[in-house]
A and B are shown apart, each in its own frame.
Chain A
């Protein structure tokens, strides 16, 4: 992706975001105190394991959190305005038009009963006020822009008639139809084969760079993040534990969890000779020294159990 366009104001700014389940004695927070900002045209990566809160952070941005989850504290500033102050109707106009999202599994995100052309055209009708005929013609262009072969015929295809890679391309076409300012891609290639993943990632990078769209890429794959993003945030247990330039993060990880995550990954080219196999780092064994780590780095055990007595009992458990 190209150099980010230099602007003073960030496109998106999260300030001390907490997401949780409201309860009688205050909210039980799952995402805690997350702050980061994305500049226009920049690609920002959020990396972490399942349950680290990266998807909840993304869903809270576009108000797609399922009940009873709620943003309990903090601000979500998009171009300087807090998205939480928008009405539901204004938010609906924002989604898809200014902020678009690509999901992990394109088959469940697409409507199986409508042709892909109609699903793309819908974006133009809803957000740009076009008629269906004109929108249909624009859909062909949109499909061509994501390198789907024979777009004139493919607009009439249903999602089940396409391969996984093609469906994800359709998702990208829908997401980028209205030239959004921010594209949220939540594990966009996890369900795809490696060679198809490569093509889809290149497509996202290419299209977003050409349109100046900022990307919030969520992935558990450090390799994907490294290749796509200029800055990375590492999430663990609902907190952002490290947020750095991609190069700095991989060259010199500071937080023990980031170090563990990088050491736990069997990386190409790290095995040297017959005996050169290094044992992979077991992150959970790091957590056992948590008393010292906790004070310095808020490196807590996974289960967010609030009772300190329970927590003490958990320290010796497996996984």
Chain B
């Protein structure tokens, strides 16, 4: 990716990532079909940036996140942090990896151990990473304050908290080791509107205070527009549009991005029916190209996707096209 001509390597770089899963119930069949969850993704994440990956269920956005976390072995491709590969032979161990990226999950209750107090859940990674016992209590109290809870809350169990507080605990646990990247997998979609606003505000404050970089996975485009610096739109294993948030939302170009934005139920359409985003002429593909894929139906996730490339149509704004 041609990023703003910086000489330093980006914090995180994903190069031509492929993740394929063999499927089919015939265990010993010779030609097992491959489900191509991710086919050829290139992405970079700058320092202090929030990159959002949007798309429908099954488009491969979570698989991409799991590959970065080291929870899913990529079929091919490379993932680099500060220019150093974290895949293959020279991959760092799990302990080092834990300090690179941590994940915040969608359902905070399902991702917390119900039988451990919050303090114990938060202290476990510190202990594993050799933090002296004398420091642990301070670090846990400190992180709880950072996420807007009280140090006393550490003595409680997850079921004693509300949904919003649990998500705060989920964020605290992701931050306890001081990772550089936070992977946010639908961080607010399980929360109520008012609580959602609090968590979004908290994440933005933390990003500023701790100079964190976010990779956010979401299908809520309102949240994406509010939080992101750059947006990647994924459609069945491939990025179809990539650009700064204002380019994506002001000039959505790929038919799929336009469809996605048009389907968001937007309260403002009541007030401004003339501003309906469903209307308006679809932009033309760049000369000599056609959008790829052209028709947004049920794509075949088993075959190799057609030859296509991301074409730059504006500064840092890419759209997937094939030569016409």
Residues of A within 8 A of B (CB): 49-50, 193-195, 197-198, 201, 220-227, 246-247, 250-251, 260-271, 273, 277, 279-284, 318-319
Contact = CB atoms under 8 A, between A and B. Distances in A.
B165 A268 contact: no
B57 interface: yes
A278 to B, nearest CB: 9
A194 B56 contact: yes
A250 B268 contact: yes
16 contacts: A194-B263, A195-B263, A198-B263, A223-B266, A224-B265, A246-B270, A260-B194, A266-B225, A268-B266, A269-B268, A271-B226, A271-B245, A280-B198, A280-B201, A281-B197, A284-B198
Nearest to B56: A193
A51 to B, nearest CB: 8
Contact of A264 (B56, B150, B194, B221): B194
A135 to B, nearest CB: 31
A282 B263 CA distance: 27
A226 B194 CA distance: 18
- Which of the four size classes fits the interface of chain B? 35 or more
B193 interface: yes
A287 to B, nearest CB: 9
B247 interface: no
Interface in B231-274: 245-246, 249, 259-271
A282 B269 contact: no
A77 to B, nearest CB: 29
* Main SS class of interface, B: helix
B47 interface: no
B57 A265 contact: no
A49 B198 CA distance: 14
Contacts of B270: 226-227, 246-247, 250-251
Contacts of B271: 247, 250-251
Interface string B145-169: 0001110000000000011110000
A226 B267 contact: yes
A264 B196 contact: yes
Contacts of A271: 225-226, 245
B222 interface: yes
Given A227-B265, A247-B270, A251-B271, A266 B222 contact: yes
Nearest to A284: B194
A156 B238 CA distance: 35
A265 B222 contact: yes
A186 to B, nearest CB: 16
Contacts of B192: 49-50, 220
B150 to A, nearest CB: 7
B162 A319 contact: yes
B259 A195 contact: yes
A149 B96 CA distance: 51
A273 B226 CA distance: 11
A227 B222 contact: no
A267 B222 contact: yes
Listed from nearest, the 10 A-B pairs whose CB atoms lie closest are A223-B265, A266-B226, A280-B197, A264-B197, A283-B194, A198-B263, A226-B267, A49-B192, A266-B222, A224-B265
B217 to A, nearest CB: 14
Contacts of B301: none
B223 interface: yes
Contacts of B57: 193
A283 B220 CA distance: 20
Give the residue among B150, B165, B198 with the most A Cβ atoms within 10 A.
Answer: B198
Contact of A319 (B56, B164, B193, B246): B164
Contacts of B197: 263-266, 280-283
